[in-house]
Structure 1
Amino acid sequence: MANRPAAALVLRVGDRERLVRLARSSSGRAGLAQRARIVLLAAAGEAHTVMAERVGVSRPTVIGWRERYAERGLAGLDDEPRSGRPRVVDRRKIVAETLKPPPKRLGVTHWSSQLMAARLGVSNGTVAKAWRDYGVQPWRVETFKFSTDPEWVAKVTDVVGLYLAPPDNAIVLCVDEKSQVQALDRTQPVLPMQPGLAERRTHDYVRHGTTTLFAALEIATGTVTAAVKPRHRHQEFLAFLKQVAKAYPDDELRLVMDNYAAHKRPEIRTWLAANPRIQVHFTPTSGSWLNLVEVWFGIIERQAIRRGSFNAVRDLNTKIRALIDGWNDRCHPFVWTKTADQILRRANRQTTSNTDH
């Protein structure tokens, strides 16, 4: 008797099509789709127990929604207004809690939306929206290093002044070395790009040694004087400086360099003293990003090294030289845009912000 079909529920005119759409909808509320299924099964004359099993709810729930439809039609399937004041989520509290480190018992380095939602008793969607609105991104991390150079202001002003107003009678060259460039060879041949397919290569590789790339970038033209050498000691650096001097035999040179120990060896200072037409301008400690040749190193890394496959250091050196030759055929000036005051103001803001925290 328990499974005896109840009298078929009579649907109101035009409701069947709307109920079918609601029951099949994947974008609407799940509860509303479930209630529409109950009403459709009731209209087919199914027993209450069978409907409960098919829909995955209790028998009283089936009876309740059947009666709600019978009394009020489709409007009866909507949620009743809840009594009491609507819950208000304090998004500022979500952000404030996110800025605190997670408890050690969780064993994590930063919050996820799921962990924060569980901590505050809200949905992870609510947490994610608060993060978006306030620009909080716990999953991201960036690096920084403040310069402790006592001559920070003077060196920034000096180097940036060279970029923005280079001397009329001198050529400005940015000099540095890119050390430990690895000759990596893939374990299988690279599969070339095809329509609809990106270039593919194996994830593993074989190391065949390293090389060091020395470069001097002429900012006015973008021309690069370069050399590849097996090591990057002061001996190799001095040999490269002599190569640069030979490339510009009659010009006054202003060299922008960082504070690497090899750049300040007595042998280097002695040679520079014997060649007064060449003057050095050092970037601040931890301020090598002021050296424009670093931008060029990034270009050569992306265009020739990162995706390359080299079966020996000699092969790597050959391809680097080929890129340099090609670069010098199409080079362009490197233009610095920030003034020294803009850089110093931003550095002061960052330092102040870090101290406040």
Structure 2
Amino acid sequence: MAPILPEWLVTGCGRLRPANDPLLPIGLPALPVAVARPIVLRAAERKRLKLMAYGHKSEYRLRMRAQVVLHAARGRSNARIARDSGLHVDTVRCWRGRFAEQGLAGLSDRERSGRPPVFTALQVAQAKALACQLPAESGVPLARWSCPELAREVVARAIAGSVSASTVRRWLADNALKPWQYRSWIFIADPDFQLKAERVLDLYARTWQGIGLGDDEYVISADEKTSIQARCRCHPTLAPGQARAMRVNHTYGRGGALAYLAAYDVHHAKVFGRTEPTTGINPFMNLVTQVMTAEPYASAKRVFWIVDNGSSHRGQKAAARLTAAFPNAVMVHTPVHASWLNQVEIYFSVVQRKVVSLNDFTDLTQVADRLRAFEDRYNATAQPSTTSDLDDLLARLDRHTTDHPEESSAAPAT
């Protein structure tokens, strides 16, 4: 049971005396003084308050409120806490009382009504609808909307008397609208897309015309990566350091460009590459010769070459030229505008990210040496992509769709 505290009075001369003090003059005016609320902390509360009071990322207001409660838990008076913290005694009394009543939740700001809305819901909806239209449809000579341009158009259309670009940006953020961004895309125009795509995918699954491939049959994915430049930076690239990213000088001298041709053995994850001054029929056939004269491809029953429709290997003439040079080679084209079906593009993306990006080379010889060294590194660790990997991905997507049908129905079609 908590001890009964005596009621204290402040006498007219400013002294603090008990109400039952017999020496208190009769008739002397006195005012009651509220006793400071006692604070008792649990271990978890003390830990949270210390993080708030002394954490480097704590907001100043939360830091001061936590310090008030910690001082109060040590039995200090409100006046002393106010003196030590530089706060007003009423502020100390407020947060001490809020914590005593509500705990840690009492240290947060209460909800406020805020300023009345300046714009109606209809005005906001009209601005968002305008952002979802192409500027040309509105007769505005712009390629894309920006927030300042949208704000200007909202005023021009008398949707609102005045509005700032930052306000328009907040409206669009509510629906994740970013009309200043864009993504390019393309229609599949090849009338034989399904047939050609099925042939390529069947080869990845080691099947050709419904018959499984033998151990002496191979699938090669080949293409060219054009115009890899040698940019010699005017100042050396600086390695990253503490709180500092790698620094690459913007100014450079051009050291020429070369083409990188690669053939990727789909089922063995092995890359054969070469550099050429440019692309064309002869450079591509040099790559074919490099692969087809090496074992096990030279003595293989069949070697399928999956290529896109680039000028170096386009159409039936390229297929006939390949078969004439190597009778056991079969050229298979991907559909038009579907070179993403070619697995060597995955390897080229790795090369771009890990070898070419930053592009700080002294000359083309260094570029070629770096590419050859990366081939050796890649061949030592690479693993082939299998149909089981795709099956696992599809299974995970199916489980997600089954567990969250409402999300799948709201997802955009791909």
Is TM > 0.5 for Structure 1 vs Structure 2? yes
Can you give the 5+ residue segments of structure 2 that lack an aligned partner in the other structure? 1-58, 62-111, 395-412
Secondary structure of residue in 2 paired with 1:236: helix
Change (3 A) 1:328 1:125: same
Give CA-to-partner distance per residue, 1:72-92, whole Å, 9 cap, x none.
xxxxxx99998xxx9433554
Alpha-carbon contact 2:131-2:150 (below 8 Å) kept: yes
Aligned length: 269
Aligned partner (choices 350, 371, 374) of residue 323 of structure 1: 374
- Provide the C-alpha distance between the structure 2 equivalents of 1:214 and 1:162, rounded to a whole number of angstroms: 21
Say whether residues 1:289 and 2:330 are aligned partners: no
- Provide the C-alpha distance between the structure 1 equivalents of 2:205 and 2:114, rounded to a whole number of angstroms: 69
- Provide the C-alpha distance between the structure 2 equivalents of 1:241 and 1:81, rounded to a whole number of angstroms: 72
Q: Which residue of 1 aligns with 2:103?
A: none
**Alignment-mate amino acid for residue 183 of structure 2:** E
Q: Which residue of 2 aligns with 1:262?
A: 312
Aligned partner (choices 172, 186, 202) of residue 233 of structure 2: 186
- Provide the C-alpha distance between the structure 1 equivalents of 2:199 and 2:375, rounded to a whole number of angstroms: 29
Residues 302-341 of structure 1 aligned to structure 2 (within 5 Å):
302-335=353-386
- Provide the C-alpha distance between the structure 2 equivalents of 1:145 and 1:268, rounded to a whole number of angstroms: 27
In the TM superposition, what is the alpha-carbon distance from 1:259 to its structure 2 partner?
Answer: 0.7
Aligned partner (choices 248, 259, 271) of residue 212 of structure 1: 259
Secondary structure of residue in 1 paired with 2:366: helix
- Provide the C-alpha distance between the structure 2 equivalents of 1:198 and 1:278, rounded to a whole number of angstroms: 48
In the TM superposition, what is the alpha-carbon distance from 1:94 to its structure 2 partner?
Answer: 2.8
Change (3 A) 1:195 1:125: closer
In the TM superposition, what is the alpha-carbon distance from 1:157 to its structure 2 partner?
Answer: 1.5
Change (3 A) 1:192 1:152: same
Change (3 A) 1:254 1:139: same
Alpha-carbon contact 1:219-1:335 (below 8 Å) kept: no
In the TM superposition, what is the alpha-carbon distance from 1:267 to its structure 2 partner?
Answer: 6.6
- Provide the C-alpha distance between the structure 2 equivalents of 1:275 and 1:242, rounded to a whole number of angstroms: 9
Alpha-carbon contact 1:211-1:313 (below 8 Å) kept: yes
In the TM superposition, what is the alpha-carbon distance from 1:187 to its structure 2 partner?
Answer: 0.9
Change (3 A) 1:168 1:197: same
Secondary structure of residue in 1 paired with 2:321: helix
- Provide the C-alpha distance between the structure 2 equivalents of 1:302 and 1:81, rounded to a whole number of angstroms: 49
Alpha-carbon contact 2:197-2:335 (below 8 Å) kept: yes
- Provide the C-alpha distance between the structure 2 equivalents of 1:26 and 1:189, rounded to a whole number of angstroms: 43
**Alignment-mate amino acid for residue 338 of structure 2:** G
Change (3 A) 1:80 1:250: closer
Secondary structure of residue in 1 paired with 2:298: coil
Change (3 A) 1:117 1:225: same
Alpha-carbon contact 2:263-2:273 (below 8 Å) kept: yes
- Provide the C-alpha distance between the structure 2 equivalents of 1:135 and 1:297, rounded to a whole number of angstroms: 33
Alpha-carbon contact 2:319-2:330 (below 8 Å) kept: no
Say whether residues 1:96 and 2:129 are aligned partners: yes
Aligned partner (choices 198, 219, 224) of residue 177 of structure 1: 224
Alpha-carbon contact 1:292-1:334 (below 8 Å) kept: no
Give CA-to-partner distance per residue, 1:182-202, whole Å, 9 cap, x none.
111101111112222211121
Q: Which residue of 2 aligns with 1:116?
A: 150
Give CA-to-partner distance per residue, 1:191-247, whole Å, 9 cap, x none.
112222211121111111111111111222321011111121201111111111123
Secondary structure of residue in 2 paired with 1:232: coil
Q: Which residue of 2 aligns with 1:277?
A: 328
Structure 2 length-normalised TM: 0.57
Change (3 A) 1:80 1:287: closer
Q: Which moved more, 1:243-252 or 1:108-117?
A: 108-117
Say whether residues 1:227 and 2:227 are aligned partners: no
Alpha-carbon contact 1:253-1:277 (below 8 Å) kept: yes
Alpha-carbon contact 1:234-1:268 (below 8 Å) kept: no
Give CA-to-partner distance per residue, 1:87-108, whole Å, 9 cap, x none.
4335543332112233788653
Give CA-to-partner distance per residue, 1:261-314, whole Å, 9 cap, x none.
221374762341453322111011111111111111010111111124211111
Say whether residues 1:142 and 2:154 are aligned partners: no
Q: Aligned Cα RMSD in Å?
A: 3.6
**Alignment-mate amino acid for residue 226 of structure 2:** S
- Provide the C-alpha distance between the structure 2 equivalents of 1:307 and 1:196, rounded to a whole number of angstroms: 20
Change (3 A) 1:79 1:221: closer
- Provide the C-alpha distance between the structure 1 equivalents of 2:114 and 2:177, rounded to a whole number of angstroms: 36
Alpha-carbon contact 2:231-2:254 (below 8 Å) kept: yes
Higher relative contact order (CA 8 A, sep 6+): 1
- Provide the C-alpha distance between the structure 2 equivalents of 1:231 and 1:253, rounded to a whole number of angstroms: 25
- Provide the C-alpha distance between the structure 2 equivalents of 1:151 and 1:299, rounded to a whole number of angstroms: 30
In the TM superposition, what is the alpha-carbon distance from 1:332 to its structure 2 partner?
Answer: 1.5
Change (3 A) 1:321 1:274: closer
Can you give the 5+ residue segments of structure 1 that lack an aligned partner in the other structure? 1-24, 28-77, 343-352
Change (3 A) 1:274 1:304: closer
Change (3 A) 1:267 1:89: closer
**Alignment-mate amino acid for residue 333 of structure 2:** F
- Identity of paired residues, percent? 25
- Provide the C-alpha distance between the structure 2 equivalents of 1:93 and 1:244, rounded to a whole number of angstroms: 62
Q: Which residue of 1 aligns with 2:105?
A: none
